[in-house]
Amino acid sequence: MTRDISSIVDAELDAIAPPSPLSGPALAATGRRSIRRRRLAGILGGVALIAAASVLAATTLGGTPPVSPASDTQPSFPLPELDPSVTYDWGHYFDKATPETERLTAALWERLSALEDIEVFVSSDGGDPVAAENLADLPAITRADNHLFEDRPEGRWQTGHIEPVYEMYGRGEVLLTHDDLPQMRLLVQMYPKDGYLAVAPAGAEAGSVSMPVPYLQPNCAGLDDEVYAIAYECPQPSTEDGDRTFALQYHFADETADAGRYGLRVIRYFANGNALVLTLGGIVHFGDWEPVMSAEELTALALSLPAVPVI
């Protein structure tokens, strides 16, 4: 993010009223530092916390993913030329488990189950959430064929573009909580090299969990707190070890302005060109509350998952 954009975001955050619990000072003073240190240690699995702090400095807002080195294991799935006046959508078909998705699911469970103060629940078919006790309880990440459609007044039309995607599509919901905090849903997606666009045009569904296809992240210069959010935070850019991460957290108010929808979205752009998207969201009330996981913690989770090929 350029200095000009950073100044704009800071000014907009300063102008937000009433004060939001998502402000930088408020998040820094949540009072759970010892718990968070244990949580980060569980995610990173024995990596020294000093080294972890260096890795976590990679939280960024960037324009395009880093240039990918030559790779024999990750093929490219270039998007077709897109018409900016057309709305696009994904259609998912033929999902199945593969060795790569099984490795991702196992790694995700290993990290989540290591968190001392977070409880993992699973909800399937609209039923009541039940505690996840082992890997078999976790909805599996699977591979699907991702078809790119044009949304037209007369219906959806195939563009002919098909690419693989890894996600928990239709496999139930993973819900995280700790203490008396509300449960928040965790979504996991991984897109292949060249099969997505990074930053959406300014103002295009800014701050939304569902970005316009095929974009993965909003343009923070286009965020408008008067329209979209009570608060949002976009971190400064940096790059570490060939990977970059982007994090956006935001809080939408409902009509009563005493409750709203919280979202935290972290994207890890791998050096091989793939993109991992973790989204955490739920309904919260203003006042004494905090996210189940901070942006730093969700970034640590993203950085801990393996760089498997999306094929």
Sorted by sequence, the CB contacts under 8 Å of residue 55 that are 6+ apart come out as 47, 240, 241, 300, 303
Sorted by sequence, the CB contacts under 8 Å of residue 152 that are 6+ apart come out as 86
Domain boundaries, the chain: 3-74+98-141+167-304
Q: How would you classify the pairing of strands 244-253 and 59-60?
A: parallel
**CA angle in degrees (0–180, nearest 5) for 68-73-79:** 55
User: Residue 16: what pLDDT?
Assistant: 29
User: Residue 204: what pLDDT?
Assistant: 64
Distance CA 195, CA 147 (A): 11
User: Residue 179: what pLDDT?
Assistant: 76
pLDDT (tens place) for every residue of the chain, 311 residues total: 333 333 333 333 333 223 333 333 333 333 333 344 445 555 544 333 223 322 333 333 334 444 444 444 899 999 999 998 889 999 999 999 999 999 999 999 999 999 888 999 998 877 789 999 999 999 999 999 999 999 988 888 999 999 999 998 767 889 999 877 778 999 999 999 999 999 887 766 544 556 789 999 887 776 666 555 556 777 665 566 678 898 888 877 655 556 777 888 999 999 999 999 999 988 777 665 678 888 889 999 999 999 999 99
Residue type present at position 42: G
User: Residue 288: what pLDDT?
Assistant: 58
**CA angle in degrees (0–180, nearest 5) for 186-192-197:** 85
Q: Hey, what are 184's tokens?
A: 């928040």
User: Residue 193: what pLDDT?
Assistant: 97
Alpha carbon separation from 85 to 88, 151, 156, 218, 300 (Å, rounded): 10, 11, 15, 18, 37
Distance CA 296, CA 118 (A): 15
User: Residue 170: what pLDDT?
Assistant: 67
